[in-house]
């Protein structure tokens, strides 16, 4: 049941559905400090703060619309007794289009 869940886990189908709604869960279990220190992140990256089983957790999530992030996390957390506390933006400095181009170039080099 919900009491047994320690962290929020996403199935492959849930991640696929998230990408369909243009939400990409980029970092699991991150923090505000980690996102500030990270360089070269896309500017559509948001810090999602949520509570599950009385413990606060943080994820770095990419999406153009905050409402898409909220909907995804609300639907996931509600049945587990969790809640979304906040969604904050302003962590990245690279335009998403440029970030995606960098990522594709790195993948081609491998």
Any residues with CB less than 8 A from the CB of 22 and at least 6 apart, and which?
63, 64, 65, 68
Q: Each residue of 10-61: pLDDT tens digit?
A: 888 988 888 888 898 988 888 888 888 877 888 889 999 999 989 999 999 9
Instruction: For residues 30 and 68, give the distance between their C-alpha atoms in angstroms, rounded to a whole number.
Output: 20
Which carries the bigger pLDDT value, residue 93 or residue 108?
93
State residue 85's pLDDT score.
96
Q: How confident is the model at residue 4, as a pLDDT?
A: 43
Task: Give pTM, 2 decimals.
Answer: 0.79
Q: Domain boundaries in the chain?
A: 9-109
């Amino acid at each position: 049941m919900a009491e047994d869940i320690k962290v929020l886990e996403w199935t492959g189908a849930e991640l696929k559905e998230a990408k369909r709604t243009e939400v990409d869960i980029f970092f699991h279990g991150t923090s505000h400090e980690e996102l500030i220190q990270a360089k070269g992140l896309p500017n559509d990256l948001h810090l999602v703060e949520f509570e599950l089983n009385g413990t606060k957790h943080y994820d770095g999530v990419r999406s153009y619309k905050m409402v898409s992030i909220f909907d995804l996390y609300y639907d996931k957390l509600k049945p587990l007794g969790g809640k979304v506390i906040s969604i904050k933006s302003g962590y990245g400095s690279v335009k998403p289009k440029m970030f995606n181009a960098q990522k594709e170039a790195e993948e081609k080099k491998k």
